[in-house]
A and B are shown apart, each in its own frame.
Chain A
Amino acid sequence: MSDLAKEKAARLLKKRGSLSSLGSHDVRTKEPAWKAKDSISTVSYIDEPGHHDDIPRPAMQMENTYQLGPTKRFPVLTVQDILKDVLASYLQEEKYEPELCRQMTKTISEVVKARVKDMMIPRYKVIVVISIGQLTDQNMRMGSRCLWDAASDTFSSHTFKNSSLFAVANVYGVYFE
């Protein structure tokens, strides 16, 4: 599509009698902006209607890499450090309260996702799951099973506890082949 636009711009410039390279620059600068649209995140909450169809976007096709595996792997330990850091800073002094913790789970999941995105690991899709619960005498068990390519996909997990609440954070990294 950009080639067509380039040709059109060149034809227009020829008609006006000048062949400046400015035209092609303009067309080229469109591409990075186009690529930046690839990563759009939507936030949807189970207690609110879904926002998926608000912005109609064309389906993005990622090209084949023809590589056998990812060039840069998902950094498990770095992500675990991010989780430790975020959970400790947000929850160290907090006491369990329903409204606060409801907002906190959403905030923390967005913050962790933003920090993992900042690491710019190419072609990896990221899923962040946060659970915050009240500490009483109850017992709880969490389990997770994944069907993926174990050579390229992985996860990172961390739990945090203080006197009145506990938090569990899981980050899954899935490679897009």
Chain B
Amino acid sequence: MEEYHSGDEVFMVVKQCIEGVIGGVDYNQNNVNQWTARIVEHSLTQLVKQGKPFKYIVNCAVMQKSGAGLHTANSCYWDTTTDGSCTVRWENRTMYCVVGVFAVAIAL
């Protein structure tokens, strides 16, 4: 299950969610709040639709492009045979978006 999660499917699902919310727009401070909330909710709904026995954590950061740098790292203590994560980086002309998805298996 972990191999399936860290494959391309989750990447594509999340990428489509991001593009659906901030696909053709420029950075706007008034809307960022809504955007992060929508990206995270849509991603979570799409992941849940897959019907797999996982608990999900979806993390999203949207940053304006101004030449500044950003680094993200994550460290996880879990069962590597059943749990997995996936990070999606997306950008357009005016902003960066980094989405991290972590899936933790539920015992069945």
Contacts and interface: CB of A to CB of B under 8 A. Distances in A.
B74 A139 contact: no
Nearest to A132: B71
A126 B44 CA distance: 20
Given A131-B61, A133-B68, A135-B68, A126 B81 contact: no
Contacts of A4: none
Contacts of A153: 55
Contacts of B80: 40, 42, 52, 57
Interface string A46-60: 100000100001011
B92 interface: no
Contacts, number: 167
A25 interface: no
B82 A59 contact: yes
A95 interface: no
Contacts of B87: 46
* Interface-central residue, A98, A108, A113, A127, by most chain B CB under 10 Å: A127
Contact of B76 (A128, A132, A133): A128
A46 B100 CA distance: 12
Contacts of A98: 69, 71
Q: How large is the interface on A (under 10, 10 to 19, 20 to 34, 35 or more residues)?
A: 35 or more
Interface string A115-141: 011000000011111111111111111
B58 to A, nearest CB: 5
B55 A148 contact: yes
A145 interface: yes
Contact of A177 (B27, B43, B107): B107
B37 A130 contact: no
Interface string B51-66: 0000111111111111
Interface in A136-160: 136-149, 153
A143 B48 CA distance: 18
B53 to A, nearest CB: 11
A128 B75 contact: yes
CB-based closest 3 A-B pairs? A143-B36, A105-B73, A109-B75
26 contacts: A42-B80, A46-B87, A62-B107, A105-B73, A125-B76, A125-B104, A127-B102, A129-B73, A130-B73, A132-B71, A133-B71, A138-B68, A139-B64, A140-B62, A141-B32, A141-B33, A141-B62, A141-B63, A142-B36, A142-B60, A143-B60, A146-B57, A147-B55, A153-B55, A174-B57, A177-B106
